Amino acid sequence: SLQDKNALHLYSVNGKYLCSETLKEEISDMCVTGEHIVMGSLQGFLSIRDLYSLNLIISPLAMRLPIHCISVTKEYSHILVGLEDGKLIIVGVGKPAEV
């Protein structure tokens, strides 16, 4: 975060700069799972990005409260989102028939 600007930077294992993405929200927690980055923000948005291009996979989901923590289940079937008020939101991943 620099002068109210937030960015996500991607580097290779060898330290080579690959790309970056400017963010509108302030990230409070993130989790890397497989080929995706799951991020939660203090503005209450849950975002899923591609690990290699940093492009959004889906439009951010509004949780309406600041997100404090994120976890993804071992089978990658659900995202667990902890909110500021202590609530735990469980978000199903995949097609509706799979969830």
DSSP 72-95: E-TTS-EEEEEETTS-EEEEE-S-
How far apart are alpha carbons 31 and 97 in whole angstroms?
Answer: 25
- 99 pLDDT higher than 80: no
pLDDT single digits (tens) 34-64: 899 999 999 999 999 999 999 999 999 999 9
CATH architecture of 2-92: Beta Barrel (2.40)
Model pTM?
Answer: 0.85
Q: For the chain, which residues make up each domain, given as ranges?
A: 2-92
pLDDT single digits (tens) 73-86: 998 899 999 999 99
pLDDT at 42: 95
